[in-house]
C-alpha cells in the first residue's frame, strides 16, 4: 500500500547501514588494501618551536624495505589553503600561515611533520624514521594565547606581529558600552573554554594513488568533505585541475568535525605515490599521532560583562575573547570563533545590546578548528554562565532570569538588533522559529526543579553538595545560505549549497546520490526514508550513495548539522523533478493530459479512471527503452537538484544537570541529566535521540574530565588516552530526553538539525550545576574541567584551608 511505504518518514526505522557494522564488514580506511600497497610514516617534531638546520636522510634510505625518504624541500606543492578568513574580504586583516605538506620553515608545534618514509611495511617505515637525523635549533615556545599576545613573547610568524591572526568584532559597540555604563548591575567574569582533543574512535588515514597512464590521482581518506578536497588538495595545494583528482571516503568511523579539513598528509600520500611510480601509498595515524596531527577544539579565554536591572532584565552583554588557533591555521580555523561564535552571543534572549571582540592568536600548539558545535558550545558556555552569574548577583532564580529574558514566541523570524546575524555584505540570516518557555518549563518539571532545595538538604546530610544547572541554548546550524557565508560576507571561501541525484532504473530500483557525507548519522537510512516518502518506493528498493567524487554531483559534505536542512531539501527537490517527469510520461503512456494524472505513492493514475495507471517502475522502464516518449522529453528517469538554503536553522532547548560533589574528595558525580530539545520535525526520532545522547556526553566530558594540556615548553602532556580522560559508560547516568516541536519554516520537512545540539547545550548545564553545588561555600566561578583535584582545591581554598 502506498501509505505504508510512505509512512517511513518520521518513523523509528532501523538503520540500513547497521548490517555491515554489526557483522564486522564495515570498510574503514585502514581496512582497504591494494596489491603493491606501500606504507608511509611521518617523522614529527619533538619540539614545539624550532628551526631545522638540516635533515640527513641517508641512513634511513639504506634501511630494509625503504622505497623513499621525503622532506619538505622535495615537495613542490603550495601551503595548504585557508578557506575562511575572519571577516571574509571585508578588510579585516588575517595574518595567514598554514602548514605545508612537510614543514620547510621550522616547526611551530610538537608533532608537526618534517620528513616521511615510504616502505614496504608499516614497521619498516617506522623503523627507518629513527634513522633520520635532524639538526634542530630549538626556540622558546609559548602555549598560552594571552601570553603569546604580550610584547616579548616568542614570535611564531614574521607576518603576525604579537602572534595576532586577526582582530574581529561584531555587534553594537556604542550601544553596549552605554548599556553597561548605565546598568544597575554589571557582573564581570573571566572564563576559560579549555582545549579539547575530539577523539573520534577511528583516527585519520589516507591512501594516495597516482596513475601514470592517465596522470590522474585518487585519494581515499576518512573525510567529511570528499568533494571539497578535490578543490583544496587539487587546485590549491597541488596546482592540478580538479578533474585530475578523485576523492573517496569509505566508511568514516566518527569525525565530529576533525575530518572536515585539508590536511598535509593528503598531499603527502599523493606525492609519495607518484614518487614511487604509482604504487598506492597508505598512511594511518596512531592515536598519539592523532593527538598532534589532527585538529584540537575550543581553547578560548573570554572576558564577559553582563549588564542589567535588578528586576532580571539583561540589557547588555560585552565579550572579549582570545581564541588560540595553534601554530598554523587549519582550513577554517578563523571562522569558528567569529561567525559561528560571535554571531550567536545573544543566545535565546532579547538582549538588545551585544558586542564582541575576538582576537585569533598563534601559539606553539596544534592547530584548532571546528569540533562538534564549532563556536556554539563556546558561545552557549559564555551566555549561560553569564545568565547564572547575573542571577547570582541579583539574588534571582536562574530559571526565572532566563524566562524573563527569552525571546517571545512572536519574535520570529528574529534578527538581533545589534546586527549579530548580518554579514558584512548586508545579507542576513534570521532565527527561524522558536518557543523557548515550554522547553524550559518541561525540563524543570522533569528535573523536579521545584524540590531542589529539599534535595540539597538531603544530600548535605550525606556529606554531599548537590547542585542543579541550566542551559537554555539556541544554536545556528543547517549551514548555510551561500550569499551569507560566502567570501564577501563572512569568509568561508566557498558556498554551502547541496546536491542530490536520483535515478530510477528500469527495474524500479532507486539510487540516491548525495553530496553529503555520513560519519555515523545514518544517512543511508534517513535519505531512504525521505525518498520512500516522496516517490512511494519501498525503502528496500532504495540505495543511498555518497562519498565518491567520480561522476557524482559536487556537494559540500556533512558538518554544522546541515544535512537534514540542506541535503534533505536537495533530495526532495530531485524527487519532485522525478515525479514531474514521471507524471508527464504517464500522461503520454495513458493518453491523458498531465493535469489529469494523480500520484498516489508510486502509482500514476488518470483521475476518475483508477484502472488506467502506471507504476513508477513501468514509467522508468519505458523511459529507459525510449520506444515512445513525448516530443522533447529526454530518455531515462534521472534528475539532479541543487539546493541553496535560504536561511540557517536554529534548534533550541533547555537542559538541566544535577550533580553531587563529595566534599571530602572533590569528586563530581552527574546524578541526572534532563534534556528537552526542539529540533523541529524529525526524520527518524531514533537517530535524533542517538545524536542527542552522543552530543550530550561529549559536552559532559568537557565539563568534568577532558582537557588537552601543554606544558610551558609545548609538550602535550595529555598525549594519549592514558592521560586524556574520555567519558566511560560507568561514569554517566541514563539521560532523560523530552522534546517540544517547533517546525522550521526553512525547509519542507520542518527540520532544524540535531547533530551538534547536545554538545552545544550540555557543557554549560553541567558547569552551572557544579558552581551551584559549590556556591554555598562562596565559590562563584571555577574553570573546567571539574576534576576532583580542582574541585577539592577550590573547596579547601574557600574554607580557608591549605589548597
Partner 1 sequence: MSTEHVSLTVNGTRRELDVEPRRLLVQALREDLGLTGTHVGCDTTQCGACTVLVDGAAVKSCTILAVQADGRSVTTIEGMAAADGTLHPLQEAFRDQHGLQCGFCTPGMIMAAADLLAHNPDPSDAEIRHGIEGNICRCTGYQNIVAAIRQAAAVTREGTSVQPPATAA
Q: Give contact residues for partner 1 (rule: CB under 8 A).
A: 14-15, 17-28, 30-31, 123, 199-203, 251-254, 256, 286-288, 519-522, 686-687, 689-691, 693-698, 720-722, 726-730, 732, 734-735, 758
Grid cell locating 495? 558556498
Nearest Cα neighbor of 368 from 142, 151, 194 is: 194
Residue 765 CB, nearest approach to partner 1 (Å): 14
Element (H, E) at 303: strand 300-308
Residue number, 121 or 507, with CB nearest to partner 1:
121
Cell of 715: 609538550
- Is residue 186 within 8 Å of residue 216, measured between CB atoms? no
Question: Which ranges constitute the DSSP H helices of 556-638?
Answer: 568-590, 616-625
Cell numbers 617523522 correspond to 43
Residues 6+ apart with CB under 8 A from 498: 514, 515, 516, 555, 556, 562, 563, 566, 567, 569, 570, 642, 643, 645
Based on its alpha-carbon atoms, the radius of gyration of the chain, rounded to whole angstroms, reads 27
Shortest Å distance, C-beta 795 to partner 1? 27
Q: How far is the CB of 123 from partner 1 (least distance, A)?
A: 8
**636/731 with CB nearer partner 1:** 731
Please answer whether residues 537 and 602 qualify as being in contact, where contact means their C-beta atoms are separated by less than 8 angstroms. Answer: yes
Count of CA atoms in the C-beta half-sphere (13 A) of 403? 14
Find the shortest distance in angstroms from Cβ 15 to partner 1: 7
Burial class (CB in 10 A: 0-12, 13-18, 19+), 35: exposed
119 alpha carbon, distance to own chain's centre: 35
> Whole-angstrom Cα distance, residue 184 to residue 172?
20
Q: In whole angstroms, how close is the CB of 278 to partner 1 at the nearest point?
A: 23
The sheet that has 314-326: what strands, in order across it?
164-171, 353-362, 314-326, 300-308, 185-193
Nearer to partner 1, 521 or 681 (CB): 521
* Cis bond upstream, residue 45 (ω within 30): no
CB nearer to partner 1: give 30 or 598: 30
Which residues have CB under 8 Å from 632's CB, separation 6+?
none
Nearer to partner 1, 22 or 717 (CB): 22
Between 333 and 522, whose beta carbon lies closer to partner 1? 522
Q: How far is the CB of 474 from partner 1 (least distance, A)?
A: 22
Residue 20 to residue 128: CA distance in whole angstroms: 37
CB-nearer residue toward partner 1: 30 or 662: 30
Nearer to partner 1, 137 or 723 (CB): 723
Q: Nearer Cβ to partner 1, position 184 or 540? A: 540
CB of 124 vs partner 1, minimal distance in Å: 10
β-pairing, 314-326 vs 353-362, is parallel
Q: Which C-beta is closer to partner 1: that of 386 or that of 759?
A: 759
Give backbone dihedrals phi and psi of 640, rounded to 5 degrees, phi first. Answer: -120, 140
Nearer to partner 1, 197 or 455 (CB): 197
Handedness of CA 131, 132, 137, 140 (dihedral sign): negative
Q: Does residue 579 come out as left (phi exceeding 0), alpha (psi in the -120 to 50 range) or beta? A: alpha
- Name the strand (E) or helix (H) holding 3: helix 2-6
- Please state the closest distance from residue 402 (CB atom) to partner 1, in A: 25
526 exposure class (CB count in 10 Å sphere: 0-12, 13-18, 19+): buried
Q: How many residues does the chain have?
A: 803
Least distance (Å) between residue 686 CB and partner 1: 5
Select 371 or 449, whichever has its Cβ closest to partner 1: 371
CB of 528 to partner 1, least distance (A): 15
Q: Which CB atom, from 515 or from 520, has the smaller least distance to partner 1?
A: 520
With residue 38 as reference, give the H or E element that holds it.
strand 38-44
C-alpha–C-alpha distance, residues 615 and 568, integer Å: 24
| Min separation Cβ 370 and partner 1, Å | 16
Residues sharing a CB contact under 8 Å with residue 603, sequence separation 6 or more, in sequence order: 2, 536, 613, 614, 615, 616
Smallest distance from partner 1 to CB 3, Å = 24
Q: Which is nearer to partner 1, 142 or 284 (CB)?
A: 284
- What is the closest distance, in whole angstroms, from the C-beta atom of residue 721 to partner 1 in the complex? 4
The three grid cell numbers given for residue 452, joined into one nine-digit string: 531542589
Among residues 288 and 793, whose Cβ is nearest to partner 1? 288
Strands (E), 552-693: 597-600, 603-606, 609-615, 637-643, 652-662, 668-678
Least spacing, CB of residue 517 vs partner 1, in Å? 12
Strand, coil or helix: what is 643? strand
> In the chain, how long is the greatest CA-to-CA distance?
92
| Pair type for strands 314-326 and 300-308 | antiparallel
State which residue, 17 or 216, has the beta carbon closest to partner 1.
17
Give the nearer residue to partner 1 in terms of CB position, either 87 or 373: 373
Q: How far is the CB of 775 from partner 1 (least distance, A)?
A: 28
Alpha carbon of 383 to those of 304, 342, 376, 380, 429: distances in Å? 9, 11, 10, 5, 20
| Residue closer to partner 1, measured from CB, 106 or 699 | 699
Q: Cβ of residue 499: shortest distance to partner 1, in angstroms?
A: 23
Least separation in angstroms between residue 202's CB and partner 1 is: 5
Q: In Å, how far from its chain's centre is CA 505?
A: 35
Min separation Cβ 508 and partner 1, Å: 26
Encode burial over 780-794: b for 16+ CB neighbours within 10 A, e otherwise. ebbebbbbeebbbbb
Amino acid at each position: 500500500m502506498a501509505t505504508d511505504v510512505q509512512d517511513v518518514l518520521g518513523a523509528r526505522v532501523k538503520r540500513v547501514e547497521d548490517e555491515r557494522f554489526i557483522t564486522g564488514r564495515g570498510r574503514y580506511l585502514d581496512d582497504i588494501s591494494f596489491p603493491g600497497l606501500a606504507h608511509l610514516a611521518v617523522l614529527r617534531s619533538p619540539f614545539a618551536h624550532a628551526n631545522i638546520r638540516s635533515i640527513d636522510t641517508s641512513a634511513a634510505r639504506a634501511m630494509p624495505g625503504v622505497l623513499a625518504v621525503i622532506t619538505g624541500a622535495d615537495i613542490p606543492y603550495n601551503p595548504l589553503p585557508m578557506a575562511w578568513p575572519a571577516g571574509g574580504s571585508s578588510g579585516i586583516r588575517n595574518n595567514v600561515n598554514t602548514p605545508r605538506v612537510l614543514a620547510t620553515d621550522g616547526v611551530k608545534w610538537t608533532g608537526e611533520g618534517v620528513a616521511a618514509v615510504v616502505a614496504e611495511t608499516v614497521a619498516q617505515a617506522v623503523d627507518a624514521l629513527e634513522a633520520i637525523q635532524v639538526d634542530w635549533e630549538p626556540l622558546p615556545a609559548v602555549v598560552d594565547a594571552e601570553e603569546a599576545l604580550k610584547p616579548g613573547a616568542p614570535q611564531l610568524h614574521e607576518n603576525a606581529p604579537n602572534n595576532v591572526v586577526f582582530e574581529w568584532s561584531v555587534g553594537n559597540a556604542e550601544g553596549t558600552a552605554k548599556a553597561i555604563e548605565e546598568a544597575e548591575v554589571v557582573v564581570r567574569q573571566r572564563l576559560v573554554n579549555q582545549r579539547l582533543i575530539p577523539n573520534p574512535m577511528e583516527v585519520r588515514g589516507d591512501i594516495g594513488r597516482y596513475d601514470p597512464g592517465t596522470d590522474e590521482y585518487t585519494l581515499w581518506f576518512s573525510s567529511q568533505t570528499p568533494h571539497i578536497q578535490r578543490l583544496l588538495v587539487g587546485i590549491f595545494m597541488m596546482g592540478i585541475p580538479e578533474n585530475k583528482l578523485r576523492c573517496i571516503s569509505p566508511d568514516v568511523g566518527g569525525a565530529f568535525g576533525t575530518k572536515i579539513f585539508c590536511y598535509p598528509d593528503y598531499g603527502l600520500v599523493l606525492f609519495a605515490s607518484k614518487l614511487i611510480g604509482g604504487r598506492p601509498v597508505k598512511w594511518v595515524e596512531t592515536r598519539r599521532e592523532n593527538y598532534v596531527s589532527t585538529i584540537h577544539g575550543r581553547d578560548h579565554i573570554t572576558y564577559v560583562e553582563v549588564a542589567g536591572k535588578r528586576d532580571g532584565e539583561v540589557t547588555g552583554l560585552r565579550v572579549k575573547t582570545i581564541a588560540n588557533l595553534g601554530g598554523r591555521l587549519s582550513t577554517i580555523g578563523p571562522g569558528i570563533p567569529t561567525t559561528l561564535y560571535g554571531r550567536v552571543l545573544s543566545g535565546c534572549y532579547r538582549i538588545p545590546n551585544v558586542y564582541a571582540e575576538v582576537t585569533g592568536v598563534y601559539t606553539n600548539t596544534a592547530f584548532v578548528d571546528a569540533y562538534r558545535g564549532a563556536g556554539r558550545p563556546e558561545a552557549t558556555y559564555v551566555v549561560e554562565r553569564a545568565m547564572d552569574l547575573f542571577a547570582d548577583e541579583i539574588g534571582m532564580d536562574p530559571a526565572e532570569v532566563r524566562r524573563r529574558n527569552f525571546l517571545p514566541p512572536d519574535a520570529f523570524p528574529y534578527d538581533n538588533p545589534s546586527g549579530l546575524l548580518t554579514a558584512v555584505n548586508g545579507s542576513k540570516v534570521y532565527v527561524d522559529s522558536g518557543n523557548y518557555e515550554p522547553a524550559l518549563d518541561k525540563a524543570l518539571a522533569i528535573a523536579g526543579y521545584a524540590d531542589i532545595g529539599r534535595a540539597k538538604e538531603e544530600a548535605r546530610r550525606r556529606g554531599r553538595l548537590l547542585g542543579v544547572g541550566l542551559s537554555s541554548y539556541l544554536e545556528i546550524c543547517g549551514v548555510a545560505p551561500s550569499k551569507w557565508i560566502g567570501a564577501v560576507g563572512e569568509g568561508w571561501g566557498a558556498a554551502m549549497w547541496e546536491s542530490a541525484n536520483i535515478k530510477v532504473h528500469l527495474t524500479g530500483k532507486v539510487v540516491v546520490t548525495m553530496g553529503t557525507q555520513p560519519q555515523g548519522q545514518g544517512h543511508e537510512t534517513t535519505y531512504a526514508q525521505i525518498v520512500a516518502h516522496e516517490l512511494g518506493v519501498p525503502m528496500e528498493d532504495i540505495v543511498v550513495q555518497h562519498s565518491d567524487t567520480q561522476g557524482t554531483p559536487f556537494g559540500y559534505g556533512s558538518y554544522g548539522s546541515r544535512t537534514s536542512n540542506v541535503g534533505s531539501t536537495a533530495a526532495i527537490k530531485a524527487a519532485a523533478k522525478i515525479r514531474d517527469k514521471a507524471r508527464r510520461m504517464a500522461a503520454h503512456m495513458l493518453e491523458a493530459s498531465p493535469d489529469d494524472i494523480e500520484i498516489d505513492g508510486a502509482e500514476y493514475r488518470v483521475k476518475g479512471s483508477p484502472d488506467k495507471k502506471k507504476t513508477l517502475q513501468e514509467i522508468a522502464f519505458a523511459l529507459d527503452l525510449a520506444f515512445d516518449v513525448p516530443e522533447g522529453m529526454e530518455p531515462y528517469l534521472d534528475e539532479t537538484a541543487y539546493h541553496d538554503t535560504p536561511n540557517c536553522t536554529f534548534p533550541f532547548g533547555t537542559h538541566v544537570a544535577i550533580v553531587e560533589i563529595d566534599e571530602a574528595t572533590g569528586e563530581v558525580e552527574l546524578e541526572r541529566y534532563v534534556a528537552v530539545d526542539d529540533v523541529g520535525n524529525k526524520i527518524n526520532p531514533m537517530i535524533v535521540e542517538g545524536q542527542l545522547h552522543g552530543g550530550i556526553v561529549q559536552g559532559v566530558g568537557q565539563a568534568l574530565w577532558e582537557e588537552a594540556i601543554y606544558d610551558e615548553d609545548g609538550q602535550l602532556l595529555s598525549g594519549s588516552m592514558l592521560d586524556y580522560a574520555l567519558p566511560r559508560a560507568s561514569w554517566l547516568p541514563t539521560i532523560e530526553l523530552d522534546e517540544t516541536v517547533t517546525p522550521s519554516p526553512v525547509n519542507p520537512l520542518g527540520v532544524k538539525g540535531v547533530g551538534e545540539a547536545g554538545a552545544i547545550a550540555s557543557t554549560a548545564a553541567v558547569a552551572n550545576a557544579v558552581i551551584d553545588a559549590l556556591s554555598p561555600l562562596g565559590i562563584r566561578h571555577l574553570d573546567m574541567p571539574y576534576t576532583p583535584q580542582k574541585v577539592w582545591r577550590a573547596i579547601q581554598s574557600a574554607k580557608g584551608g591549605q589548597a
